Structure 1
Amino acid sequence: MKQLFLRFEHWTTSIAMMLACIMMALSAIFAIHQIFTRFVIESPAEWTEVLIRFSLIWMVFLGIPTAFRQGAMVSVDLLYRMSGQRGRRVLDTVVAAAAMLLCGIIFWWGLDYTNRGSVQSMIGLDNVSMFWAYLALPVGAVFSM
């Protein structure tokens, strides 16, 4: 059962990382387009700035699960080095519980923002709801948990 769970977690983390890489590539493409239209054509496209911002937000929230998996998140190294084997287990448990609590809070408030933002439209993209921008918070929190 543990192996099945770990395979599922590896699969979902890989999907989240792939999507984060796609969001990073999209933000780079939009930035190049914005630079070209602003400085070469001298007619900037206002929609690219908005899409860059939201693709970067999605990139961060979809990349967090990989950082958790690799242990690249902020940790308490001094306490970890000073504690013994039993202290490390306790510290790992406390850090994991704090991370789960934070992800739960991000999920809860992210759902609230998503519901409230569904009636707003994005500046520069009048036909697109802010729902899609705010959805990054609960989706990223679920992948992280």
Structure 2
Amino acid sequence: MSQPWLVFALGSAFFAGLTALFGKMGVENVNSNMATFVRTIVILFVSASIITMNSEWQRVDKFSSRTIIFLVLSGIATGLSWLCYYRALQLGHVAQVASVDKLSVAFAIVLSALILGESLTWQTALGCLLIISGSIVIALPKF
């Protein structure tokens, strides 16, 4: 495959879809913040298991301060995203919540252009607008 990242991106999309479904089912009778905590513990164990199986452990004290800062910021953003996501799943329908959550793609495109200087081609801009449009159409109340 000439695009090896695509396999992992499709895997991410598939598992994110399962996340929405299982998350909705899991927050029915529990506080959404507690549900996020349990989910985070599971992710910790799964990640540690994968790192162990692949012998990929690294010494954190060898990381640059820049790496640590951005991994901490990413962790904070992920945690806040998950807390909001699980609360939204408790309150809304999976299709609506998941589609609005995918606006993260549009945010990532815009922020990567502004902050990282990544190119914003007409195809990327059009795709971004289509994602935004699709999220709005799915999230709107049904008439």
TM-score w.r.t. structure 1 length?
0.29
Structure 1 or 2, whichever has the larger Rg, is: 1
- Please identify which structure carries the higher strand content: 1
Q: Normalising by the residue count of structure 2, what TM-score does the alignment of the two structures yield?
A: 0.29
